[in-house]
Structure 1
Amino acid sequence: MSLAISHLARRFGATEVLRGIELEVPQGELIALLGPSGSGKTTLLRIIAGLDWPDAGRLSFDGTDWLAKSAAERRIGFVFQHYALFPHMTMRDNIAFGLTVLPRAERPGKTQIAAVVDGLLQFLQIGGLADRYPAELSGGQRQRVALGRAMATQPRVLLLDEPFGALDAQVRRDLRRWLRGVHDSAGTTTIFVTHDQEEAFELADRVVVMNGGIIEQIGHPDQIYDHPATPFVARFLGLTVELPVTMHTGRACAAGLDLTGLPRRAIADGAATLFLRPADIRPVPEATAPFHVTEIASTGALLRIVAQDAAGCRIESEVPRRDGRDLAVGQAVSLRAAAGQIFPTGAPIGAVPAETPYTLKEARP
């Protein structure tokens, strides 16, 4: 069984929020929709849930047209950022709610509902808090209750909209590891929305990077991180240093830059743009190099080093503090790139760079 989305489009007035979305999610996979605010992530999630409707396109699950079914008929579990728990109900009653409002013909008996709730309380590791009210719980505990309520009806697909956005950093880290374990144990198809790159990469089997209503790239987290497919993905994932280079027989060249560590690219000779992460740039002392160190700042474990040439090209790099002991302000340095991505100059946002395909097993370790 899989969820299939084809040519999905949605507009609000003159604004195109989704523009021809194509996506297939196999049974049991955990997918992250990653992108900035306004990229269309939540709108896509709401359409899958049956809370909104597209202007064009198809949505099906296991071959069944979901656009012909109501939200209730799709059997979706939805977890919101702000929990949306009933404050007058205990944890136990909140989790049971979805079962108690099922049509009479489908509604389990009270004994069966109690058994399902007890099982979920133990599964979610909150059994000792069953009779507390939401106001008596921490944010992380409330989010576990919200997840339990979504899972109680045995949804075909579980949807999570920024599920950890209202929590502090340490609780988010703990809960996302816990959620991955819950997903693997339950085997439910799960789609979650986030703008947090670390969260998406740690949790998801595949990441769907969205921007301006389109999908820029889909792939395993490592594949996307190492091989961003478009300039937008490169910038969004931290390749914030952009340098003009010249391509010659598949190699990038630029004065003061050591780019021999980059693989050959199937890009035509001529002007191109190199995208680098500061952590992938290593300043190397070289008396005749055109760059000079202008700033050095310590963040504890790292040194932030800024180098500039006579033309005003300013490049920021990050190196482990112990590796930068020999550097000083005013020193001439060449800049060695350990990894980067290259696009022909003027490449449109959706242009995929030509390079040797990157292969990686989809299964998580």
Structure 2
Amino acid sequence: MSIVIETMTKSFGGTPVLRGIDLTVESGELVALLGPSGSGKTTLLKIIAGLEWPEGGGLAVHGADWLNLAAQDRRIGFVFQHYALFPHMTVRDNIAFGLSVRPRAQRPGKAVIAEKVDRLLEFLQIAHLGERFPAQLSGGQRQRVALGRALAIEPTVLLLDEPFGALDAAVRRDLRAWLRSVHEETGSTTIFVTHDQEEAFELADRVVVMGEGRIEQIGSADQIHDHPASPFVARFMGATIELPVTLRAGRAEAPGLDTTRLPRRALPDGPATLFLRPGDVTPVCDTAGRWQVARLTSNGALLRLDLDDETAQIPVDLPRRAPEAQGLCKGARVNLRAEAGTLFPAARDAAAVAPTPAFPRKEQTR
């Protein structure tokens, strides 16, 4: 089932939460809504489910206007972060719930429901848990039950709101791979909300980065990581170093900064900002260097440095065995060599800046 969202807006108490969302999700696609808290991603998910109503815009699923349909008529499978299982029901009854409460004319027979639940228990690899209650399950097992309940109704669209947010890191990793396999088996059109970049990029066919009620960028993991479309996306993707530079003939220039490894860009001359991740720069010792090492620690694989100049402190990650790491110590002066980065001309509205391709990344242990 394809989903088409057009110029959707929504406010709460006069505060805009969605500011004209345009998004198409293809049939059978798995799309992640990624962004910080308050970006509007959960509100958008609830509007698709019929749990919230927009103030403007359109929502069509497989060509049908869903804004004319009540939530119960949309046949949505919704999986919440905190499972929302019925504690007084067994696993089997929880999964069967959506089928057993249908109007009598649409309700399958008991034997048909039991057979479908059996198939889902096997499919979700929890057949041995059918007679247990939610309180007797681990967090990962409860989330599988919640997904089984959503799948039992054969949903037109499957929606997941931070589905692994309540689980520890190891369980999250296991369930991500499992959920991707479930998606490929069922072929359902799926949208899930997350603030976890690794989760979004590992699971989704496409990632929609949202910020302050707007879609900032849509693309694959590599596209968004290497080609952030706006300063917001660059910062969200970890570009915590922002250096004012001057563009001349497509080259970024600044005191103490070597940009010769960066390709020239077809951008106008003038002031700009170079966005860099802590691992995108290499400190080079120079007794007259612009920056001074204010702090230096090691985690075994990386040296983590805080570098000071007259204006700000910047973080740098350097492989501990890199040649440039030898001899570095607190108080040493360095210049910086940029290995990768993204440029945004300062004279243009950041929200309207076209993507400027990120520069080739430096390979290193992260």
Asked if the contact 1:229/1:351 (under 8 Å) is kept, the reply is: no
Other structure's SS at 2:351 match: coil
In the alignment, structure 1 residue 80 sits paired with structure 2 residue 80: yes
Per-residue CA deviations over 1:68-96 (Å, capped at 9, x if unaligned) read: 11112111100001100000111011001
Aligned match of 2:208: 208
RMSD: 1.6
In the alignment, structure 1 residue 327 sits paired with structure 2 residue 328: yes
Aligned match of 2:190: 190
**1:357 CA drift (Å):** 10
What is the one-letter code of the residue matched to 1:319? L
Superposed counterparts of 1:112-131, under 5 Å: 112-131=112-131
Compared CA separation, residues 157 and 18, structure 1 to 2 (3 A): same
Aligned match of 1:298: 298
Per-residue CA deviations over 1:248-281 (Å, capped at 9, x if unaligned) read: 1111111111112222222210110111000111
Superposed counterparts of 1:208-287, under 5 Å: 208-287=208-287
Asked if the contact 1:265/1:354 (under 8 Å) is kept, the reply is: no
**1:328 CA drift (Å):** 1.9
Counterpart Cα distance in 1 of 2:304 and 2:200? 26
Asked if the contact 1:266/1:354 (under 8 Å) is kept, the reply is: no
Counterpart Cα distance in 1 of 2:203 and 2:327? 39
Aligned match of 1:353: 354
Compared CA separation, residues 53 and 330, structure 1 to 2 (3 A): same
Counterpart Cα distance in 2 of 1:300 and 1:127? 44
Other structure's SS at 1:223 match: helix
Counterpart Cα distance in 2 of 1:346 and 1:211? 22
Counterpart Cα distance in 2 of 1:275 and 1:16? 28
Counterpart Cα distance in 2 of 1:297 and 1:344? 34
In the alignment, structure 1 residue 308 sits paired with structure 2 residue 280: no
**1:308 CA drift (Å):** 2.6
Asked if the contact 2:33/2:209 (under 8 Å) is kept, the reply is: yes
Aligned match of 2:8: 8
Identity of aligned residues (%): 64
Counterpart Cα distance in 2 of 1:126 and 1:285? 58
Counterpart Cα distance in 2 of 1:290 and 1:19? 43
Other structure's SS at 1:273 match: strand
Per-residue CA deviations over 1:310-346 (Å, capped at 9, x if unaligned) read: x344322001222223322232322111111111115
Asked if the contact 1:342/1:353 (under 8 Å) is kept, the reply is: no
Aligned match of 1:363: none
Other structure's SS at 1:150 match: helix
Counterpart Cα distance in 2 of 1:149 and 1:263? 52
Aligned match of 1:134: 134
Query: Gaps spanning 5+ residues in structure 1: where?
Result: 359-365
**1:301 CA drift (Å):** 2.1
Query: Gaps spanning 5+ residues in structure 2: where?
Result: 360-366
Other structure's SS at 1:146 match: helix
Asked if the contact 2:226/2:357 (under 8 Å) is kept, the reply is: no
**1:292 CA drift (Å):** 2.7
Asked if the contact 1:283/1:336 (under 8 Å) is kept, the reply is: yes
What is the one-letter code of the residue matched to 1:268? P
In the alignment, structure 1 residue 337 sits paired with structure 2 residue 354: no
**1:30 CA drift (Å):** 0.8
Counterpart Cα distance in 1 of 2:88 and 2:64? 38
**1:293 CA drift (Å):** 2.2
Aligned match of 2:19: 19
Counterpart Cα distance in 2 of 1:175 and 1:292? 44
Other structure's SS at 2:352 match: coil
Counterpart Cα distance in 2 of 1:266 and 1:103? 62
Counterpart Cα distance in 1 of 2:183 and 2:350? 34
**1:202 CA drift (Å):** 1.2
**1:245 CA drift (Å):** 0.4
Question: What TM-score does the superposition give when structure 1 sets the normalisation length?
Answer: 0.94
What is the one-letter code of the residue matched to 2:256? G
Asked if the contact 1:30/1:189 (under 8 Å) is kept, the reply is: yes
Other structure's SS at 1:170 match: helix
Counterpart Cα distance in 2 of 1:194 and 1:209? 10
Aligned match of 2:90: 90
Asked if the contact 1:280/1:340 (under 8 Å) is kept, the reply is: yes
Mean Cα deviation higher: 105-114 or 39-48: 105-114
Count of equivalent residues: 357
Per-residue CA deviations over 1:287-311 (Å, capped at 9, x if unaligned) read: 44332322211123211112233x3
**1:11 CA drift (Å):** 1.3
What is the one-letter code of the residue matched to 1:334? N
Per-residue CA deviations over 1:159-183 (Å, capped at 9, x if unaligned) read: 0011111111111111111111111
Asked if the contact 1:9/1:21 (under 8 Å) is kept, the reply is: yes
Asked if the contact 2:227/2:355 (under 8 Å) is kept, the reply is: no
Asked if the contact 2:342/2:358 (under 8 Å) is kept, the reply is: no
